[in-house]
Structure 1
Amino acid sequence: MKQFFLTVLGVFTGLILFVVVLPIVLIVGAAASAKEPATPANAVLELDLREGLTDQAPTNPFAAFGGSGLSVIQIVDTLAQAEKDSHVKVLLIRLPEAGISPASADEIRQAVRRFRASGKPVIAHSQGFQPVGTVISSYMVGASASELWMQNTASFQATGFSADSIFLGRAFDRYGVRAEFEQRYEYKNAVNEYTQSDYTGPHREAMTAWMTSIYDSAIANAAFDRKVTAAALKTTIEAGPYSAPQALSLKLIDKIGQVEEAEAEAKRRAGNGADILEFGDYASSKGERQGSGRDAIAIVGGEGAIVTGTGGGGAFGGGSSIRSDDTAEAIYDAIEDKSVKAIVFRVSSPGGSPEASEQILAAVRAAKAAGKPVVVSMGDYAASGGYWISSEANWIVAQPSTLTGSIGVFGGKFVVSEALGRFGVDLRGLSIGGDYADAFAPSQSFTTTQRAAFSASMDRTYEEFVQRVSTGRRLPIARVREIARGRVWTGAQGKTLGLVDQLGGLTEAIGKARELANIPADTSVRFKRFPTPQSPWEALSAAFGVQSEAAQALVTLGGVMSDPQTRAVLNRVEMERMRGQGASVLADQPL
């Protein structure tokens, strides 16, 4: 009977695949397989940063249906290839009016500077800098260009950096919700939004410190690129806001003009017959950097909240996450690959499950034991659980504005019985077994013994975290406890504390991996990505179940989608960031 229902379900699934999904896939495949025009002899590569960025491209091909956009790693890879492409003469950047994630801005700025160092000009155009988010980071990227343009009606309002936090403490009190949480320790601020009505002293201290670090770093970088002193630029910026003509007179920008005028200037510089080439199209035609040579460096990616299990994200998009089974397996696959001499582990995560984090860290240890050095490259975040999985790497590289550390733990529950009772809803619980069986029931508060047991478990997790940092960073446990306590640091701050070894991005991490693997600088090296991106048909089979006969039959048509351009089109995506629910080594995400 069970097999009968499985067969029926398989046939039904097959019909859905054939009638709904297959036409979509074939249309996308046909569009991708159509011959793309060759790169113009004189091309202006246009990078539009206004649509949002992820840190890494997804491995699920159907994530493309969840949005569109570029990843920071894709931008770095593509600009590295464009540097050496004789057809690409100029880079044109469209800047967002609001902020860019600071660490992403750091990495893009570095890539732009490398592109300029190849002798090719960069023009950046802005339709205004609005006081939203880390807009100073957007200005920093613009300042790295050869010329920074701004629209005539636009305003220059990048006068600082602000952040807001929502506190639910008074609302919970009013409506009878009790937030019963434990935190280790006072800087583990993710709990405060549930229990407080304002910043605590440590919360305000920590946020002010990392915000100041990010702001000062952006000002210093922009001043360096604009060839002025940081103090002078800071004074000018903070006296704003300004109109476009005022910004021009103060030398905050170089020219005033419409984007069409900037495009025309870029084409003029590119030469006769120049044309605009969209960044996504060029990136798709080039694909990821592969490199060459006998030796390989593995690049293992991980973005989002850290959770146990497999298969992060939905079949057709959805949030990204670091699944411990998948990520650990990717590292073990790199260990078993004889051509791989070192591993670069790209981490962009605010944390998550301590159990999932430990599983991934065990794989990092295994790589080191196998003689394959591991270099962590931190993206926007590598905090809490994100730092746990990084802590025992051979080397840690972070951007100055990466948010890291947050060595601490929190957990708890919401008791909602009183709140529901006000609406005539009665929540009652039953349990059998030991006293702790209903410890996390939302119908009642922790008992004294339950609270003590839960508090002890928080202490154990915190001590385990501290021990891993102490071992990995070769710091005395007392010193780790001193700089931990749940506090978030920037990469620049973390370097002075010994939590980070080097400031930089993926390029610098790859350079260090070569060094640790004793690969000479003049020797070519290949790059291997783990986990391997799924084909569309593998994703379909995983989504609908491998027991489906119809799905398996359709998988045989996978040759239709074997073209690499098809995969590249499907991999262009913008993923939502995911914050795990109930995770206990998770940092607050203030950006």
Structure 2
Amino acid sequence: MKQFLTTMAGVFAGLTLFLVGVPFLLIVIAAGATRPAPVPGEVVLQLDLRSPLTDQDAQNPFAAFSGGSTSVMSVIEALHRAESDRRVKGLLIRLPEVGMEPGAADEIRLALRRFEAAGKPVIAHSQGLYQSGVVTSTYMVGAAAGEFWMQPGSALQATGLAVEDIFFKRFFDEYRIEPDFEQRKEFKNAVNGYLHSDYTAAHRTAQLSWMNSVYASGLNLAASDREMDPAVLRARLEAGPYSAAQALELKLIDKLGHLHEAKQTLLTAAGDDARLLDLSAYARSIGSLERSGPTIALIEAEGPITTGQNGLSNPLAPSTMIFSDDVAEALYEAAEDDDIKAIVLRVNSPGGSDTASEQILAAVRAAKAADKPVVVSMGTYGASGGYWIASEASAIVAQPTTLTGSIGVYGGKLALGPALAEFGVDMRELGVGGDFAGVYGTGGSFTPAQAAAFSSMMDNVYQEFIIRVARGRNLTPQRVDEIARGRVWTGAQAKSLGLVDEVGGFYQAVDKAKALAGLEGEVRLRRMTPHATPLQALERALGMGSVSVKTLAAAAWVLGDPRAQGMLDTLAAERLRAQHSAAVLAPTPVR
């Protein structure tokens, strides 16, 4: 008995330490991490693009403890401030060895061009570019720098763009798995891998269309920045791969040199007392966004779109979901604030739930009704549900390589019953009420009545999407249907079709918002993106509704158990999969 009580006392003490001590420690660390440090005199900024790159900062205060990432928004904001900061004398960029998301590369390229236009030198250093995904986008960022260096002995393999898709039909046929899906329409290819063993004609056409547009855009911008004929640059790159020495000889880069030499070159030009400073440290020292003039709200949304609030995802990891309650509330708050004159909604999403997308769109309408122009700035993608929430904005600004459109819908299920029966596992279902009550059961395919009802539902969602786009873009429903049907367009293509208003980056969207609101001169950008405080994050982590799972899983995560991380990520994913009505989701772009 004594031993039992001693053991229980130890368990209680351990849980108390975790539930009280760990949260307290994390809050203290998080608070300390946000305290800005002064810029140490004259500096050369250093930006390492080899770390994970998201479009926006994480929406919880403990993201750094999961390894962290660099956000495109934080990079361009810091460089924008550095343009006019006399202490900043130059910039060193370390390029990744693989491809970057095209929209992210476009945004960073624009920031580099503005930085150099302010008279500040930029060196991009590469330890090799290797053929993988959209490596041309990485080359484009390097080409935007005043000097493009490569390490001696490295390789330049930017010869093109390729994607690879997996098709499961023959596997499903072999094991009697029955995919039962509806698509609206032929170009909505998110589930083609379940239904076919190769690209359909529509799938192939749509895929090659956006790939050619993304590839050509990157090449043309790189050629412009390097003052080369686009046809010449394309021919030289596609004839590769090359060693770094060969790339220099062909004028594809500017200089061979090691990283230390590139650093010393910039520091020497900056002055004897200049120091290297990481761009993230500089960003913390200057705070966030502009601080004077009329106010424009900035609301950010990144990831698949789902209903509800940000409460199911791992509170110790970056949020990768758009929760409709949170974003809609931020839009309503901005609409009701008399100091807010316009709103910029930054969207980086492949889509998600149609009902969640409609909730956010309703808030966009409310902001416009309150005489607050809403300008959408699209990142790497603003497709399907991501386009739904943008469709009735006052204006849409997209990068030339943004993947957008995908105006369509799909839904369905995988019937696993026949496959499991082969292994002696029988699925049985009981139900009361209408035939549709068991429509999502995985024991078998849709009945004829269920299939007809489900098909009608898909038609309704598609038509509702068409109506919103037609209303928002001042097009007829017939014209929208012609350019929709599930097609994915790039921003450059979408501009010519009337689906976006301007091709450009975040600060072009800010300028558009200023113009629509009748503002001149400097403006203050107030970030109103939903973010959890340290206490809110912990309340969600240890909430009454899921205390046992989340407490133990978070404890295991802190102790380094990868299974717990997987469990928490699965909880977030299941939230989206549980919405059976319809999915307006586009394929995630390649890197």
Fold agreement, TM-score > 0.5: yes
Residue 20 (structure 1) shift: 2.6
Residue 282 (structure 1) shift: 1.3
Q: Structure 1 residues 192, 540: closer, same or farther in 2, change over 3 A?
A: same
Match of 1:528, as an amino acid? R
CA–CA distance in 2 between the matches of 1:182 and 1:30?
51
Residue 19 (structure 1) shift: 2.9
Aligned to 2:23: 21
SS in 2 for 1:164: coil
Match of 1:189, as an amino acid? N
Task: Work out whether residues 305 and 578 of structure 1, in 8 Å CA contact, stay in contact via their aligned partners in 2.
Answer: no
Cα deviation 1:520-577 (Å, max 9, x = unaligned)? 2x2x3211112353321222223323899xxxxxxxxxxxxxxxxxxxxxxxxxx999
Q: Structure 1 residues 13, 509: closer, same or farther in 2, change over 3 A?
A: farther
1:309 equivalent in alignment to 2:311: no
Residue 285 (structure 1) shift: 1.6
Residue 31 (structure 1) shift: 5.9
Aligned to 1:514: 514
Aligned to 1:557: none
CA–CA distance in 1 between the matches of 2:406 and 2:573?
18
Q: Structure 1 residues 31, 388: closer, same or farther in 2, change over 3 A?
A: closer
Q: Structure 1 residues 288, 588: closer, same or farther in 2, change over 3 A?
A: same
**Which of residues 539, 542, 552 in structure 1 aligns to 2:540?**
542
CA–CA distance in 1 between the matches of 2:289 and 2:32?
25
Percentage identity across paired residues of the two chains: 53
Aligned to 2:586: 587
Aligned-residue Cα RMSD (Å) equals 2.2
CA–CA distance in 2 between the matches of 1:62 and 1:430?
45
SS in 1 for 2:148: strand
Task: Work out whether residues 210 and 490 of structure 2, in 8 Å CA contact, stay in contact via their aligned partners in 1.
Answer: yes
User: How does the TM-score come out when normalised to structure 2?
Assistant: 0.90
Residue 73 (structure 1) shift: 0.6
Aligned to 1:7: none
Deviates more, 1:416-425 or 1:458-467: 416-425
Q: Structure 1 residues 547, 357: closer, same or farther in 2, change over 3 A?
A: closer
Match of 2:585, as an amino acid? L
Cα deviation 1:170-190 (Å, max 9, x = unaligned)? 111111111100000110010
SS in 2 for 1:396: strand
Q: Structure 1 residues 509, 11: closer, same or farther in 2, change over 3 A?
A: farther
Match of 2:538, as an amino acid? L
CA–CA distance in 1 between the matches of 2:528 and 2:222?
35
SS in 1 for 2:136: helix
Match of 1:257, as an amino acid? G
Match of 1:304, as an amino acid? G
> How many residues are treated as equivalent by the alignment?
552
Aligned to 1:475: 475
Match of 1:589, as an amino acid? T
Unmatched segments (≥5 aa) in structure 1: 1-9, 549-574
Residue 48 (structure 1) shift: 0.3
Task: Work out whether residues 315 and 541 of structure 2, in 8 Å CA contact, stay in contact via their aligned partners in 1.
Answer: yes
SS in 2 for 1:218: helix
Unmatched segments (≥5 aa) in structure 2: 1-11, 547-568
Residue 13 (structure 1) shift: 7.7
Aligned to 1:425: 425
SS in 2 for 1:190: coil
CA–CA distance in 2 between the matches of 1:402 and 1:378?
7
Where in structure 2 are the equivalents of 1:25-104 lying within 5 Å?
Answer: 25-30=27-32, 33=35, 36=37, 38-104=38-104
1:330 equivalent in alignment to 2:330: yes
Q: Structure 1 residues 32, 370: closer, same or farther in 2, change over 3 A?
A: closer
Aligned to 2:177: 177
Deviates more, 1:262-271 or 1:400-409: 262-271
Q: Structure 1 residues 578, 428: closer, same or farther in 2, change over 3 A?
A: closer
CA–CA distance in 1 between the matches of 2:15 and 2:331?
34
CA–CA distance in 2 between the matches of 1:356 and 1:475?
24
Cα deviation 1:56-113 (Å, max 9, x = unaligned)? 1122112222221211110110001111111110100000010000000000000000
Cα deviation 1:113-147 (Å, max 9, x = unaligned)? 00000000000000111001110000000000000
Task: Work out whether residues 398 and 502 of structure 1, in 8 Å CA contact, stay in contact via their aligned partners in 2.
Answer: yes
Match of 1:587, as an amino acid? A
Query: After TM superposition, what 4+ stretches of structure 1 lie above 6 angstroms from structure 2?
Result: 10-14, 575-579
Match of 2:305, as an amino acid? I
Q: Structure 1 residues 377, 32: closer, same or farther in 2, change over 3 A?
A: closer
1:357 equivalent in alignment to 2:335: no
Where in structure 2 are the equivalents of 1:444-523 lying within 5 Å?
Answer: 444-520=444-520, 522=521
